[in-house]
């Protein structure tokens, strides 16, 4: 059997028996008594577990058999009523996966080696959910959508009166509660009639004034649907079904409605709820101006391998709404492409399933246009925007034929592609056991000074590529003692000083163990050998992870597997870690909800949070993640756990600044540090667009600060950047967007 308590799911393995100690009674009743005084929920479930010596306590708790005592104690029970007759006691053995961040841990340690670990779970057990609806069929009342029984369901009335759409249901939590999500389970009896399609979700404290938190469309199947939104205090949730998902009739139905309680710990940052997407976001890029995130999959929402079209979905952080669009006019399945943001903020997406195609998205017109075909058909190539605004690409034997994927360059002004025969792909090949099909994939490319490109990986051999004339190539040595590191990450976190940090990867694309290797590459004059340092390793080996630079220069590394196997979630790492460039050490962070492996993405948002999403895109494989999740770093919270007050950029004297130009920033309060970060794009672990520049004021007058941009366009690449200011506590402002021109 399977039971769900709060956010924890337990798989029951064996029998039931009663056991407890008087000391545990007294401790438990005190905890419950205090919790009832402060919580709106009607009951608390207290779990007490002991774990044998076989349990290994390391950075996380591995799976093990655990005995758990479940105690249901009515609120109002006095601490003096600490004897068993007042309790309902049940012990079940379970197989459970726990991380230290999931549960409060109290350790009982004797003078000998630790023998037992006591886990005390204080899980809210919400028994007060009630439901009403606009109508119901007799026998299918709204209460059956909150009864915890998946075999019963609510259904809108169809006899004797067929009540038309839209249909609504209101769930009453019983008291004001902090929530960050809503779940909907369609009926489970094999009949799809009434599956909710397009819908809205609203919240209210008084059932009079309603606030919209979601407007989306559910797929027409019987899987659990999860809708996330920013944490909100509410008592009532109203879901309104606007359409029936299969257009079978004017009905709505539900086996179960439920809520997600919002987490409150913010010491190491906090994950928001899972956000439902209508597709697997295997690629994504930021839209300047709006801060929206445009994601895409392939010719299908959950599979790849087609031609002629691409499904896209755009997430608006300001509203929580995800809007859909199918791109057909470019006749391009953009799955597995190269991708770069050009000097005007346009996303130039090349190759992939339709291997010679170029599609260009222009945020200023919210439109897609077909670009010229590449000279060499490619898939899994990388590309990079250059100091002169052109875009360089190389590699990509996954599609369009094997081998010979030498460099070529796109000129946005002339709208043409040109071959660069002096930029051979051979020097940057890995030694992947799958051969050339995998050896030239996902290059770590960085546009640099004088039109050069630095290739930092994933091969252990590094190279410089020149793009003038017919192009050129110069070997840049090996990345210290690192292996080939396909599906690892490389981030330029300090562009002025040429600092690039690299993380993980594996020697082969698949069926290979990942590494936890970390290296610091410092580049300077093009064509010269960079310096490479081997740094403290990550806490976890990772391939298929993503890495994002934050306004303070720290790098957030998330997702991935210890053993790389595409389209699987085995050996997934749910615990992200944060690299500090000053100490060059890592801090492990709270785990995310779902695996983020092959075909996942991550991007810095304009509010300093990090968007992650995707993984899978393999049809019926069972590991498709049509969703996203947002991480709020610890710098967004104060010591009490509440949101910190941000400094505010009141004005910037110009939003278009030439390389080497001067500009001023005025804030509402004193600030102490400044950075600009280029808008990012991400697919297949590669983001060649993101880079960070540390700004130092040349003059200060009150809260007005004067800056001079770097004078080299290879450092301050042309395009759109986010300007952040941070106060003495390290809290970042919302970003203001500026365009750097040449």
**Catalytic sites, residue numbers:** 598
Task: Using the CB atoms, write b or e for 320-331: b if 16+ within 10 Å.
Answer: bebeeeebeebe
Distance CA 583, CA 188 (A): 53
Secondary element (H or E) of residue 33: helix 22-38
> Which residue, among 521, 479, 492, has the nearest Cα to 677 in the 3D structure?
492
Query: Helices (DSSP H) in 601-668: which residue ranges?
Result: none
Which two tokens mark 691? 């880079």
170-201 in b/e form (b: 16+ CB < 10 A) is bbebeeebebbbbbbbbbeeeebbbbbbbbbb
SS3 7: coil
Q: How big, in percent rounded to 5, are the helix, strand and coil portions of the chain?
A: 5, 45, 50
Closest-CA residue to 160 (of 138, 134, 190): 138
- Residue 655: CB atoms within 10 Å: 13
Q: Residue 604 in contact with residue 283, Cβ under 8 Å? A: no
Strand duo 600-604 + 444-447: pairing: unpaired
The rounded distance, in Å, linking the Cα atoms of 90 and 83 is: 15
Strand boundaries in 154-255, DSSP class E: 154-155, 167-185, 198-204, 211-217, 225-241, 253-254
Instruction: Tell me, letter by letter, the H, E, C secondary structure of 182-201.
Output: EEEECCCCCCCCCCECEEEE
Query: Which of 541, 540, 523, 524 is closest to 532 using CA atoms?
Result: 523
Convert 571-615 into a string of H (helix), E (strand) and C (coil): CECCCCEEEECCCCEEEECCCCCCCCCCCEEEEECCCCCEEEEEC
Sheet order of strands, 116-125 included: 2-5, 8-17, 88-98, 61-74, 43-50, 116-125, 105-108
């Amino acid at each position: 059997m399977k039971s769900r308590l709060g956010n924890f799911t337990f798989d029951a393995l064996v029998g039931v028996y009663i056991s407890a100690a008087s000391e545990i009674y007294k401790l438990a009743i005190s905890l419950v008594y205090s919790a009832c005084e402060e919580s709106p929920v009607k009951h608390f479930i207290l779990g007490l577990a002991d774990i044998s010596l076989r349990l290994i306590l390391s950075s996380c708790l591995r799976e093990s058999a655990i005995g758990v005592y479940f105690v249901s104690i009515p609120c109002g029970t006095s601490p003096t009523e600490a004897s068993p007759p007042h309790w309902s006691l049940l012990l079940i053995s379970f197989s459970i996966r726990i991380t230290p961040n999931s549960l409060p841990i109290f350790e009982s340690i004797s003078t000998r080696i630790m023998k037992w670990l006591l886990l005390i779970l204080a899980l809210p057990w919400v028994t007060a959910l009630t439901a009403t609806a606009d109508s119901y069929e007799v026998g299918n009342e709204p209460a059956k959508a909150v009864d915890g029984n998946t075999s019963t369901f609510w259904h809108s009335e169809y006899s004797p009166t067929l009540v038309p759409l839209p249909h609504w249901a209101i769930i009453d939590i019983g008291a004001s509660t902090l929530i960050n999500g809503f779940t909907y389970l369609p009926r489970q009896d094999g009949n799809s009639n009434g599956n909710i399609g397009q819908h809205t979700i609203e919240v209210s404290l008084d059932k009079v004034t309603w606030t919209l938190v979601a407007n989306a469309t559910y797929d027409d199947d019987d899987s659990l649907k999860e809708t996330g939104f920013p944490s909100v205090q509410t008592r009532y949730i109203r879901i309104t079904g606007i359409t029936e998902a299969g257009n079978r009739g004017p009905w709505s139905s539900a086996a179960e409605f439920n809520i997600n309680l919002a987490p409150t710990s913010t010491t190491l940052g906090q994950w928001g709820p899972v956000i439902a997407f209508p597709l697997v976001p295997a690629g994504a890029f930021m839209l300047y101006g709006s801060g929206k995130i445009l994601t895409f999959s392939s010719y299908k929402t959950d599979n790849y391998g087609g031609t002629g079209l691409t499904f896209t979905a755009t997430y608006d952080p300001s509203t929580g709404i995800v809007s859909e669009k199918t791109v057909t006019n470019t006749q391009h399945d953009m799955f597995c492409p190269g991708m770069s943001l050009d000097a005007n903020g346009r996303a130039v997406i090349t190759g992939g399933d339709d291997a010679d195609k170029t599609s260009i998205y222009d945020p200023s017109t919210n439109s897609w246009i077909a670009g010229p075909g590449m000279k060499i058909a490619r898939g899994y190539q990388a590309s990079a925007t250059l100091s002169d605004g052109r875009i360089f690409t190389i590699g990509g034997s996954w599609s369009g034929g094997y081998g010979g994927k030498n460099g070529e360059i796109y000129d946005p002004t002339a709208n043409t592609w040109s071959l660069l025969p002096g930029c051979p792909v051979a020097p940057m090949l890995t030694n992947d056991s799958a051969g050339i099909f995998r050896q030239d994939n996902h290059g770590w490319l960085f546009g640099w000074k004088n039109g050069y490109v630095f290739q930092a990986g994933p091969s252990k051999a590094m190279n410089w590529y020149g793009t003038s004339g017919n192009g050129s190539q110069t070997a840049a040595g090996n990345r210290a003692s690192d292996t080939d590191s396909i599906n690892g990450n490389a981030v330029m976190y300090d562009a002025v000083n040429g600092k690039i940090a690299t993380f993980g990867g594996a020697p082969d694309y698949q069926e290979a163990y990942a590494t936890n290797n970390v290296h610091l590459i410092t580049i300077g004059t093009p064509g010269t050998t960079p310096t490479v340092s081997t740094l403290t390793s990550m806490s976890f080996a990772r391939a298929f992870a993503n890495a994002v630079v934050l306004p303070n220069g720290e790098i957030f590394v998330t997702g991935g597997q210890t053993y790389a196997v595409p389209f699987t979630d085995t050996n997934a790492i749910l615990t992200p870690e944060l690299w500090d460039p000053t100490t060059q050490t890592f801090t492990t962070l709270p785990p995310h909800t779902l695996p983020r492996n092959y075909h996942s993405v991550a991007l810095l948002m304009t509010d300093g949070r990090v968007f992650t999403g995707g993984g899978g895109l393999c049809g019926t494989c069972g590991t498709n993640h049509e969703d996203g999740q947002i991480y709020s770093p610890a710098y967004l919270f104060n010591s009490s756990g509440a949101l910190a007050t941000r400094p505010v950029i009141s004005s910037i004297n110009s939003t278009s600044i030439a390389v080497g130009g001067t500009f001023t920033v005025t804030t509402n309060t004193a600030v102490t540090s400044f950075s600009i970060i280029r808008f990012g794009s991400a697919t297949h672990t590669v983001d060649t667009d993101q880079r960070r520049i540390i700004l130092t004021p040349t003059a200060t007058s009150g809260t007005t600060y004067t800056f001079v941009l770097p004078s080299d366009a290879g450092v301050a690449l042309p395009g759109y950047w986010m300007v952040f200011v941070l106060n003495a506590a390290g809290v970042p402002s919302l970003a203001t967007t500026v365009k750097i021109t040449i």
